[in-house]
Each structure stands twice: as C-alpha cells, then as structure tokens.
Structure 1
Amino acid sequence: MKNLIVQAQRLGDLVMTYPLFIWLKKQDDKEIFVLAEEKFYKELLHISPLVTYIPTDKMAYLKNFSYDTVINLSHREDTAKLVSTLDKNNFYGLEIENGCKKISGKWQLYRTSLTHNNHYNRLHWADLNALDCIDPAIMHSTKWKIPQGRQNGKIGLFVGASEETKRPSVDFWAELAFQLCKKGYDPVFISGPGNEEKSIAYAAAKKANIPHGVIAGSLSIFELIHFLETLQLFVCPDTGPMHIASFANVPTLNLSIGPVNPWETAPYPPYHYVLRSGISCSGCWQCTKEEQFCRRAFVPHRIANLVHSLLLQKPLPNIPSITLYKTGRNTLGLYELEPIFGEKHYHSLQADFWRSFFLYVLSEKSSRYLPAYEKSKADLFSALPKLKPVMQKGHINLIKTLVMTEKTNSILEPEAWKQYPPLLRPLTSYVQLLLENGNYSKEIRLTAMKLSEEFRNALQ
C-alpha cells in the first residue's frame, strides 16, 4: 500500500506541504504519491523531499492503487470527488460523494473554520496539514538547517504577491532599494512572469536609479532557486518564492503586509524574519477599511536600517508601530513567531489561549498539551481579568442556542457564529462548522455540547 497527499493548489501551498512529506515518511515508511500541478513540482525537485509526483491531469491513474492514508489538502471539486472513490484505510480533508461535501479530521475542520475568522489563530498551515495524522513527537524531533546567505551584499527584492493588497507599492520598493544602495548593498528586483509585477519591478528600479538591477519575470522556478542561493538576504511579501527561499536555506525577511496572518503562512523553517504592522486589525482575512492602515508602518528607510543591522549583527533599531519576529519552534515543537520587538502582549495572550485550548481539546485532553493549556488560562485571566465575565456571558448564549436548536430539531443561521464577540469566534465558528459537517446528527450535537462545556471549564 501507498500513502497519498493531494496538494493541487498554488506554488506556496505545495512548498508548505514539504514538512508533511518528511513526517509521513518518518512515521510510515511507505511510498508517498503527491498529486500536484506539474508546472510547479517539476521545477521544485531541487528542494523537494523525495516523493512520487503525479500530475493533476493524470489523477485517474491514482485509482489503480490502494492507500493506507489519503490526505486531501486541496479545495478543488475534482480532487474532492476523486478521493471519495479511492480505496483507503484513513482519510483526512475534503471529499465529495454523491454531491455531498464532508471534511474528515478535527484539524482539517479547524482549518476550514478559520475562513474570515483567523485573527486569533496561531497554528501554521504546515502544522495544520499534519496534526490529524502525524505523531507530535515526530514533528518535535525534526531538525531544520540554519539559513546560510552569501556574504556578498546582494539582496533580492521580490515585488510580487498573489493579491495587490499583499504587496508594497512601487514607491516603497524604489526608496528601499535606494537606501540599501546608500549603505553599500546591491539590491536586485525580482518578479514573477505577470505583466503587472514586471512593470512594478522596472518602475521601482528606474526610480531607485538602478535600471539594470532587475530580473523581471525572466526566470523559471528552477532558475529562481539557483539565483536565490546567490543572495545574502531575500526580502519579499507573502508569496510563493518566499517559501521557496526559506526551504532553499536562503535567509528571508518577510514583509507581512495586508490580509495575511504570518502565524499561518510566513516562512516555516526556523531562523527567518517577519515584519508585521502593530495595528490591531493586522493579520485579517480580508481588509474592510477604506485604506490599508497596516501599510503605514512600513517606512523604507527604517526597514533599510533594520536590514543593515540584521546583516551586520548589530543592535536592532526599534521601528514605531511595527513588530519584528524570528521564526522558530515552541516547547511543543510547533511553529512559533518569536517576538524581537514591538509585539502587543494582550493580543498574544488571547491567541495563545485559543491555540492551547484547541490543542488540548482536539487531542482528547492529551497530557502533552495540558501544561501549556493551564499556563495560557492563568496568564490570560491574570493579565485581563475583565475578559472572563465577557467570555462567560458568550458561553451561556452559545449553550442556550445549542439547546434550543436540539429541542426544535433546527439548524443555525448560516453566519450565526458571527453574532458573538470576535474573541469567542474561534469557538463559535468551529462549533457551527462541526454541526454542519455532521449534518446535525444527535451524536454531533453531543460533541458540540461537550466542546462548549470544555470552554466553560476553562473559565472556572
């Protein structure tokens, strides 16, 4: 038998799945099939763990085998229909059978519940890919290389991102490059093949007075990897090449701008850096403001000073209204962003509580997660005691709603979970999705009630 991982999403999603390849092979030494887009995996073989890739246009081939474990990390309809037809012992992710959608796996369900609701999430996509099926001890024991940059002053500036809201402006890039040149560095603009990205790169290079410092859309993914390996530092927004660089062992500084949560999608290997606005709404799913206020904190000359200090290992300058993190691991072996300066303590306490709550409850109250759970509760309510009555009131309302729907054999309104204060929505979103995914069966209603009661216990 074999194992199968379905990851037919974008370039960055595929690279973020590499840890799962490694962990699944360690746990179960079977051949791993990976269904993915050929245009991505073919040129990533230089940094990919050893697996057998199957192109998405040949997915019917997968029906010829039996599988021990199938993990569907894609939300495409065709892959969800495919996995429902496969002979398998264990399954996690989305499947569609006879037109009905179902998500298997507590953590796959948790991940889906984060849609428009990820403000308090502190679990990286790479970890969420694995928590349903990989022994936590295997994840904890994994060793990662320390990134090694060339000591040549060459800094790559990648101007693109999947959405306009996630990438800095032409003026930002031009001024950052200009300031880096003044400090003796050699910045090079890089972009993807899209015309908009290429125009940003050329315009920024012209404004910075380095018109020849551009590699705009001319590199294949394979060539990009080898170019990245010539850099001292790679500076980029949240984008696929960011993940390529970090897994290629290239020192990376992620400018986490716009509707992205760095705890979910920043560079996964340790020892990389992340810059994030300190504004309270930073890390949203989708910006709802008239202006992206998180951009204001990203001042080019200040970031150039920071880059200079990082590369020379000098004391770091604080940047107003911004937070600098280093990627790392916590005591549980899970992804962590370690604050270097600027983090808002109160938000961290609330997010840590929800991370430890779900780790403890969804692991069937494993003793592995109990100490962190107890500490997060104590830290939160010691620092912010006024939150407890607010959360208790929300819990009472949730219980009343669950009891009423059971008595009347009814279902929740589509966005009922949003009727609660934002701090309670990690729970209410998960509970609502749990009920919908289980078709409001008697058993699933009981599970939702037990989960809600565990939250009550946390408030004691």
Structure 2
Amino acid sequence: MAPDPVLVLQMQRMGDMILSFPMFLWLSRHYPDREVFVVAEEDFFRPLMPLSPRVTYVSWRDAAAGALSGRRFRIILNLSIREEAASLSGSLDADYRLGPVRAPGGALRVLGRWQLYRSSLVGHGRHNRFHWADLNGLDLLPLKVMRLTYFDPPRRPEAANKTVGLFVGASEPGKRPSPQFYAGLAHALLERGLKPVLLGGPADRPVAEAIHSQSQLPLVDLVGRLSLSELAEYGKTLALMLTPDTGPMHLAAWTGLPTLNLSVGHVNPWDTAPYQPGHLVLRSSASCARGCWACRQPSMLCLKGVDPKPVAALATLAVSGQRARLERMKLPGLELFETMRTEEGLFGLRRLGPRDSSGAAKAADLAGEFWRRFFLWSFSGEPETPVREAWQALGAAWPRLVVSLKGTLPVLSRGVARLLREGAPDRGAASALSRELPPFWNLLGSYLEMSGQNADFSPAWARESLELLERLNALLE
C-alpha cells in the first residue's frame, strides 16, 4: 500500500507557482515514496507543466468539486492566502497541516512558525532576508535537504548573441519602469551594439505602444504574441532578459536565461528576486526602497534613480561576461547584487561594486544578517554563536546604534505584557507594538503580534514570547 501523499495548495499567480518548483524538488527527495499533489489554477499550471518538477496537478475547480475528498494526506501545506484554500486545508483528512487553515466553522489559524513569520512580513519586511521560495519549505524540510540541492547558474550566451529581451509588464504599474525609461533603454542598448526585443503579455500592449511612440525605433515587438511555453522556448535565443519583478522573470531564471532584475516599486529582492544563483539585481539605494509594501513618497524615488544609460552599460558587461568589471562599476544612487547561496543552502544576495570609501559596512546589511541568523537559531535550531557574532559585527561598525537599540528592547516586553493584560485588541492597537519601536525591531515585533493574534493573545503565547525576548537579551550582552 502506497504511503499517504503530500498535498500543496498553491493558488496564487504564475510567479508564486514557479517559486514553488524548488520545494517540489525538495519534497521528492525528502519523501521519495510519497506522491505530491498540487492544487493550483489550471490557467497557470497547465502551460508550466513541461518545466515543472514531477508532481500531480489538480485544478482548483476539480478540488472544489470534491476530487480530493476521502483521501488521507500525510501533510497539507497551504501556500495560498485565499480563503477557499484555507477552508480546503481544514476540511481534508491529514496528519499535519501548515500555512493558513480554517477548520469547519472555526477560526483561521496559521500553522508553522516560518509560515507565521511570512504572514508577519506585510508592511514590516525591511530587514527580512528569507526568500519566498525558501520560506515555502522551512517548516517542512531540514536545512540539509536545501543545502544539498544544486541549482545550475545561468547559461553563458554565445559570443555572437547580442539579443536582449526587455520585459515591459508587471502585475502593477508601480512595479515596473515607465515607457519613457524603456524607450531610452532601447536607444542606449542599440548604441552599445545590443539588439533589444520587447516582451510582455497581452495586457502590456499599451505600454509597448507608448515605447514605440517615445522611442521612434523599429523595435522587434513580441508583446502579447507569445504563450508561456513559447516565451520559455524563445528565451533560449536571448543573451539576457531585463525585467522587473514578474512571473516571467522567475520563468527566465528557472530555465537558465541570464536575468537582470530591475527591482523597482514596492518589492523586496530578498523576498522575490530571481531564485537561482548567478543572476543580477539592480535597485535604488534610497533608504525607503527596502521592502516597502506601498509607496508613501510624493513620487517614487526608487524609479528616479534607475537611468537607462547605466542599465545599458550593465547589460553590455553581463552579455559579454565581464564579471570583473561589474565588480568595479560605480553606480551612484543604485545598488547592484548577484544572487547566491548562503552556507545553509538558502537564497542570498552578494553586493557588487566598489566598497564605500569609508569602509563602513551598511547598517541595513548588518541588521539583515543579524535577523537572518536570529530566526534560523530560533526556528530551525541553528547554532547560537553566529547570532552573537552578527550582533557584534553591527556593534563594531555602529557602536552608538547598538547601545540605543538595546535600550529600547524592553518596549517589546512591555508590549507583550500589555496585550496579555488587555486581551485581544482591535487591529490598530495590535499593530502599535511595532509602531512604538525603532525600525530595527519591527521584524520581531510584527512576528510577535501576528503570533499573538494567531493564539488569541493567550498566557501560553505571552510566556513563550517573553522567554524568547529573554534569550534575545542574553545574546546582546
């Protein structure tokens, strides 16, 4: 008799589906005898099936009609935020459940510390350093499974190949550069001997028309003319794709097409950059461009800093394979990264370009590394020593900052005690726990709030939260 299968609910968009592919690989290696079922929207999974790791797809329509009823699952992992996914997870028979679950007639709960952590990032992801693809599996799989999984770097284009894809669409207008930028970029690429091709979906036709109008160039235009499978096949003929944070960006990276991610708008590359190692990520160095969820500025500063000429220069170096020059390239107002793997086998970003003339490490980088180490220690049982070392590194570079931060840590403890004393507050009162703190603490404060809501601010939650804060305080000595 076959062992009970694993069920994954991934009813989000195309990019989320592709970012689930690594976890499908990990599941097949960790549970080689268990079938993996994936419930998804058929419009997304059907064209991706030739590229997907081997799983059994079930359409949401069939799942809603009872196709999975009567089956028993070893694990159900819900990666969707949709209410119907939470209800489906709660209604089926399973030994373990992770992610949002609504029991029949009951409250909504998020099961799994890493899944709860992901939920707490909304509006508070400034110092998050965990990629969505990794967060999919951290509750379910030991780190050694991820560490032993190898992903090929992007393929090297042939020397004669100068064709560069410009993906002009995004799920929201604020997540892509303007048509004016793309028009200028097309000119700059042509001046450097590269051949730009416009790519996008049917909804991106107005953007393509605006680019034609503003550039006055006879550009090759495939916007809205390729299916997903055709786009993946056409990508084999490209030397590079320049793209904002989109589903097709993840498709390009998964298929080995070298990618330069123009990370603009309310996106965080540590969350959703190209997952495989060896791709490039360009973003504004504006302090507000660090994991925001909605722009609060009069104009989008992260878009202003991205100019066509330096982007074209980067593309030229990437296509020609001149990585050493990338390391030395100065980009005022911008930050350039290369995707990589950490020692734990998780996603990371390696900063490229010359060091700051002062030699001081960026406080945001040091803070992000501290929180990465802290949550790996707290949730995955990684060693404590790297957490202390990360705090010491922050203190060595910014001594006054760490003194100030340590002095504000008791605010978190008082906030936990207040929530326990006053019971479940309204939504605004709960979020006050983060609003009262310096931005450095928001990642932990938001997690404590979310876990409190998940546990109805029970005494057990307060005890566990205060114990965690006591352990943290001891680490900061």
Shift of 1:269: 0.5
Equivalent position of 1:339 in the other structure: 351
Superimposed CA distance per residue, residues 212-262 of structure 1 (whole angstroms, 9 cap, x where no aligned partner): 410111111111111112110011000000000000111000000011100
Equivalent position of 1:120 in the other structure: 127
| Cα distance between partner residues in 2 of 1:292 and 1:206 | 24
| Cα distance between partner residues in 1 of 2:196 and 2:404 | 50
Equivalent position of 1:377 in the other structure: 391
CA contact (8 A) 1:12 1:243 kept: yes
Shift of 1:143: 0.7
| Cα distance between partner residues in 2 of 1:370 and 1:401 | 25
CA contact (8 A) 2:21 2:53 kept: yes
Equivalent position of 2:251 in the other structure: 244
Alignment of 1:104-253 (within 5 A): 104-151=111-158, 152-194=161-203, 197-253=204-260
| Cα distance between partner residues in 1 of 2:255 and 2:389 | 36
Shift of 1:202: 2.6
| Shift in CA distance, 252/409, structure 1 to aligned 2, threshold 3 Å | closer
Q: Secondary structure at the match of 1:270?
A: coil
| Cα distance between partner residues in 2 of 1:265 and 1:399 | 32
Match of 1:434 among 447, 451, 457: 451
| Cα distance between partner residues in 2 of 1:340 and 1:7 | 34
Equivalent position of 1:321 in the other structure: 333
Return the letter of the residue paired with 1:93.
G
Relative to structure 2, which stretch is displaced further, 115-124 or 209-218?
209-218
CA contact (8 A) 1:322 1:342 kept: no
CA contact (8 A) 1:254 1:274 kept: yes
Equivalent position of 1:22 in the other structure: 25
Superimposed CA distance per residue, residues 31-75 of structure 1 (whole angstroms, 9 cap, x where no aligned partner): 100011111111012211110000111112122311111100001
Segments of 4+ moved more than 6 angstroms: none
Shift of 1:206: 4.2
Q: Secondary structure at the match of 2:22?
A: helix
| Shift in CA distance, 56/410, structure 1 to aligned 2, threshold 3 Å | closer
Q: Secondary structure at the match of 2:52?
A: coil
| Cα distance between partner residues in 2 of 1:404 and 1:259 | 32
Shift of 1:411: 4.6
Percent of paired sites with the same residue? 35
Shift of 1:435: 1.1
Q: Say whether residues 1:70 and 2:82 are aligned partners.
A: no
Return the letter of the residue paired with 1:441.
S
Q: Secondary structure at the match of 1:43?
A: helix
CA contact (8 A) 1:205 1:213 kept: no
Count of aligned residue pairs for this structure pair? 455
Return the letter of the residue paired with 1:378.
Q
Q: Secondary structure at the match of 1:64?
A: coil
Equivalent position of 1:38 in the other structure: 42
| Shift in CA distance, 405/74, structure 1 to aligned 2, threshold 3 Å | closer
Q: Say whether residues 1:101 and 2:108 are aligned partners.
A: yes
Return the letter of the residue paired with 1:31.
E
Equivalent position of 2:10 in the other structure: 7
Relative to structure 2, which stretch is displaced further, 21-30 or 436-445?
436-445
| Cα distance between partner residues in 1 of 2:239 and 2:217 | 19
Match of 1:267 among 252, 265, 274: 274
CA contact (8 A) 1:12 1:239 kept: yes
Q: Say whether residues 1:414 and 2:423 are aligned partners.
A: no
CA contact (8 A) 1:119 1:285 kept: no
Runs of 5+ consecutive residues of structure 2 not aligned to the other structure: 356-360
Relative to structure 2, which stretch is displaced further, 106-115 or 307-316?
307-316
Q: Say whether residues 1:286 and 2:294 are aligned partners.
A: yes
| Cα distance between partner residues in 1 of 2:383 and 2:99 | 24
Q: Say whether residues 1:447 and 2:456 are aligned partners.
A: no
Q: Say whether residues 1:91 and 2:110 are aligned partners.
A: no
| Shift in CA distance, 410/85, structure 1 to aligned 2, threshold 3 Å | closer
Q: Secondary structure at the match of 2:282?
A: strand
CA contact (8 A) 1:120 1:350 kept: yes
| Cα distance between partner residues in 2 of 1:358 and 1:229 | 39
| Cα distance between partner residues in 2 of 1:410 and 1:143 | 45
Q: Say whether residues 1:55 and 2:59 are aligned partners.
A: yes
Shift of 1:455: 2.1
Shift of 1:99: 4.3
Shift of 1:401: 2.9
| Cα distance between partner residues in 2 of 1:407 and 1:220 | 56
Return the letter of the residue paired with 2:321.
Q
Scaled by the length of structure 2, what TM-score is found?
Answer: 0.92
CA contact (8 A) 1:245 1:251 kept: yes
Q: Secondary structure at the match of 2:202?
A: coil
Scaled by the length of structure 1, what TM-score is found?
Answer: 0.95
| Shift in CA distance, 410/236, structure 1 to aligned 2, threshold 3 Å | closer
| Cα distance between partner residues in 2 of 1:411 and 1:319 | 47
CA contact (8 A) 2:157 2:319 kept: no
RMSD, aligned CA:
1.6
Equivalent position of 1:299 in the other structure: 307
Q: Secondary structure at the match of 1:414?
A: helix
| Cα distance between partner residues in 2 of 1:180 and 1:285 | 31
CA contact (8 A) 2:424 2:453 kept: no
Relative to structure 2, which stretch is displaced further, 163-172 or 57-66?
57-66
Q: Say whether residues 1:79 and 2:64 are aligned partners.
A: no
Superimposed CA distance per residue, residues 289-317 of structure 1 (whole angstroms, 9 cap, x where no aligned partner): 01001112211011111111222233133
Return the letter of the residue paired with 1:164.
P
Return the letter of the residue paired with 2:351.
P
